[in-house]
Structure 1
């Protein structure tokens, strides 16, 4: 094993670990996965053999005791994120926690405080801002291609969190577990959007549950569901522009991602047919210079600099976040999304929830 590589231990063996993280890390020269841990040792050992990972553990504690791990990636279910992230920090290792960082703002703030006290690097999995297309359109905004921003409109439509859900996701139906449309898709897409156009200054929101009962597909069991699956937000940006966001879960006909950024000199449009597990990166189009139709703007090749073109775009986003962390570790830069970004998303979600409760209850 080369000492120049960042040695990684992964906690969690779910689908996102196997789809979004393990193949990604194994494609990057700066990293080596040396250990995998989970509660079901038989599954852990099976996936360790499948992916060629040397060490398999039946608990997070065993993995954290391994001195030959530099970075621990927390990919357990959301209710475990906060506890495990803090355990990693206490062990003196760098930590990458999947978003959400925890189930509450207070616990995420405590994790951030602990990471600062212990002096470890902390990363949160808000990876959408790192896709080649996102980095490109963020740069276009900085370069002023649309002039001064007047308005931003984003719509995200997915089939998740609808009237029927699989049995394995039953735990997510408990609102206390903070695994819902607003936390998952809201957190990811809000971070990507507002990193490019600036954070909201003021907002008003409505969040509604349109499917109060969820049916488990395999058994037909009916489970009460209280989390919102339709969210609309309007507000103002620091630049003086206005914004609107619509998040819609449980779609029968998925609308994916649509963003329009209108400015004094033109309009940018960012689209994708899917909201998650995207095979292809977002597409970008522009309308400017008096032309009244959108023209495609292919992402320049230099934005796709990693050897991950064999992976789906959703996994490639993760690769670029890992690459940002590696640069931060080497150069002292601060590109990667951190627990500070996680806390900001928690606070935004709290603001949206409070606004809806105040004005629409």
Structure 2
């Protein structure tokens, strides 16, 4: 079937809910779809969760019953073909993104795919080209930039709070890729799966920083592998790790300010996330309990002029578009919900503030890095 002129059945008009089908919403606890996408969709007006799919019809039925979803399908292709589904959300492990996104696009449906878009740049380019050729709505899950705190920082910088930006420095940890792992995260240990310290926590945060300060020019990225194994917390087994656990990057922001980043695997007894923006007139400090800026509760601090110590900055109410979600108690869904809200607005008004597949390709390209040297 030629779907080049096919568009989703929804109109994105007020009062017309967009029917959503999620690939990856299982019954088991801990999945990103369950902790982030499910509460986000139920907190944002204009969406209606109508279908789920899983590896088998039986597991899909269990998930649908648990989460009170009307339809259950044993495959993503069946879900995408359902008339009541307008938007397919792909929230599974990275190696499966390509086949699942293609199935949705082939069915003429819009797609929101979690980040990374593909397992490497080539897959991302293929999916972006396909979505563009079909003229279908698409978004990639780089949610950090949708957090109200980042929108507020963006405006503070634009309004001259720090004066002329001189430099920005980011230090973060990735939680995984450290001393311990668990069965659900073992696939992160092999870089061939596309889910690495570079692509996930660093990639999400880098995209958020770029949304505030502009795209760093001539970014230089280096990786290193200092650990060659990790311990499974559940079994006590020591398992091999071939993925880098150190990422260092530097570049210049538009206008010449210096940007530096250092991401470390695991967790730190010291700093787990700190982002400083230093300017001629002031400073902004962003802290969080983890380097995953896309899901962490964010604290803001600032000082300018004669102030010598940073003081807490509160995000003004108008920036918060989904007040029913508490950014501290439900942090995993907070940025995701704001991304869904903006995506709906993009479809209704023709704006394009939520990152699409083309943006995802540019982000993949900016993160291209040489292989990590062998541990010495």
Specify the TM-score bucket, using the shorter chain as the normaliser. over 0.9
Runs (4+) off by over 4 Å: 276-280
- The answer to whether residue 321 in structure 2 is matched with residue 305 in structure 1 is yes
User: Does the 8 A contact of 1:37 with 1:56 survive in 2?
Assistant: yes
Which of these residues, 339, 352, 355, is aligned with residue 334 of structure 1?
Answer: 352
Query: Cα 1:23–1:64, aligned 2, differ >3 Å: closer, same or farther?
Result: same
CA distance in 1 between counterparts of 2:225 and 2:274 reads 22
- The answer to whether residue 218 in structure 2 is matched with residue 202 in structure 1 is yes
- The answer to whether residue 156 in structure 2 is matched with residue 140 in structure 1 is yes
2:7 aligns to what?
Answer: none
Query: How do 1:84-163 and structure 2 match up within 5 A?
Result: 84-163=100-179
- The answer to whether residue 347 in structure 2 is matched with residue 325 in structure 1 is no
CA distance in 2 between counterparts of 1:238 and 1:334 reads 22
Aligned-pair CA distance for 1:82: 1.7
Which of these residues, 192, 195, 199, is aligned with residue 179 of structure 1?
Answer: 195
CA distance in 1 between counterparts of 2:284 and 2:43 reads 32
2:44 aligns to what?
Answer: 28
2:67 aligns to what?
Answer: 51
Which of these residues, 4, 7, 19, is aligned with residue 19 of structure 2?
Answer: 7
Give the secondary-structure state (helix, strand or coil) at the position aligned to 2:43.
coil
CA distance in 2 between counterparts of 1:137 and 1:356 reads 33
CA distance in 1 between counterparts of 2:40 and 2:221 reads 36
Aligned-pair CA distance for 1:3: 6.9
Which of these residues, 351, 356, 361, is aligned with residue 343 of structure 1?
Answer: 361
CA distance in 2 between counterparts of 1:250 and 1:328 reads 37
CA distance in 2 between counterparts of 1:355 and 1:24 reads 36
User: Does the 8 A contact of 1:277 with 1:312 survive in 2?
Assistant: no
Which of these residues, 182, 188, 195, is aligned with residue 166 of structure 1?
Answer: 182
Query: How do 1:59-78 and structure 2 match up within 5 A?
Result: 59-78=75-94
Aligned-pair CA distance for 1:273: 2.1
Q: Tell me the TM-score normalised to structure 2 length.
A: 0.89
Give the secondary-structure state (helix, strand or coil) at the position aligned to 1:354.
coil
User: Does the 8 A contact of 1:198 with 1:239 survive in 2?
Assistant: no
CA distance in 2 between counterparts of 1:275 and 1:233 reads 15
Aligned-pair CA distance for 1:203: 3.1
1:242 aligns to what?
Answer: 258
Aligned-pair CA distance for 1:278: 8.8
State the number of aligned residues: 357
2:9 aligns to what?
Answer: none
Question: After superposition, what is the alpha-carbon deviation per residue over 1:195-247, rounded to whole angstroms, capped at 9, x for unaligned?
Answer: 11111112333311111123333344443322111111122112210011011
Unaligned stretches of 5+ in structure 2?
Answer: 1-13
Give the secondary-structure state (helix, strand or coil) at the position aligned to 1:214.
strand
Q: Tell me the TM-score normalised to structure 1 length.
A: 0.93
1:286 aligns to what?
Answer: 302
2:5 aligns to what?
Answer: none
CA distance in 2 between counterparts of 1:254 and 1:70 reads 46
Which of 118-127 and 302-311 deviates more?
A: 302-311
Aligned-pair CA distance for 1:26: 1.3
Question: After superposition, what is the alpha-carbon deviation per residue over 1:252-306, rounded to whole angstroms, capped at 9, x for unaligned?
Answer: 5373321110111111111112334999731211111122111221100111132
Unaligned stretches of 5+ in structure 1?
Answer: none
